[in-house]
Amino acid sequence: MNDLLFSQLSTLVAASVLLFGILLVWRRSLLAYIKVFQWQSTMLTILFAIVAYFGNDPKLYWIGVLLFFLKVIFIPRLLQRFLVQIDVEREVAPYINTATSLVLTGVMVLLAQAMTNPLIRLITLPTRNGLPFAVALIFIGLFVIITRKKAFTQVLGFLVMENGIAMLAVLGTFGIPLIVELGVFLDLLMGFLVMQVFVYQIQGTFESIDVSKLNQLRY
């Protein structure tokens, strides 16, 4: 009974994490991107708590607390402050329009399901049904990085992709060692800060955060 409930709850929460990733593809407001990332990270924290409870792994609670502080409070506040400074509100003209992006997102979800099906058949973890959602979220984060022109949106894509990696780790292994997870969080924070500096440089040089303007550096 516990394994069944564990499986159902973990799959439901993993699906909600993926849903917020799809919303990132659909929306165009940069402020909405931040809100979507906050809610997605909140659901990811809940997923960590569920795995910690049913898997009897107390250290996952600490990782969940750290994740909540970093991704639900700290990083979104930095992003909101940065958004005010750059004075840009929307992702106006991505490389791929919204309708096509949503269709491709559906294809990525199906591809993730096809890729993980053999693994799901082999393992007996109660969380195995959530693995396709984690892989699909990684694909979506990478897709956002590739198809969006605003450097700000690309940073969000990187953060969403990292959420997918964290979800894959917790669902596939019941959590990785605490010291490794702390190292991943540190790398994430450093990568985020470096990206923020990079976006500042683009804004200062071109008075825009549109990365397509980097082509002008050739002339």
What would the pLDDT profile of 91-124 be if each residue is shown by its tens digit? 556 678 888 889 999 999 999 999 999 988 888 8
pLDDT at 194 over 80: no
Question: 3-class SS at 90?
Answer: strand
Residues 193, 158: contact at Cβ < 8 Å? no
In angstroms, rounded to a whole number, what is the distance separating the alpha carbons of residues 156 and 151?
A: 9
Q: What pLDDT does residue 180 have?
A: 53
Tens-place pLDDT, residues 157-187: 888 988 998 888 888 877 655 545 555 555 5
- 193: left (phi > 0), else alpha (psi -120 to 50), else beta? alpha
Is the entire prediction scored with pTM above 0.95?
Answer: no
Q: How far is residue 217's CA from residue 214's CA, in Å, rounded to a whole number?
A: 6
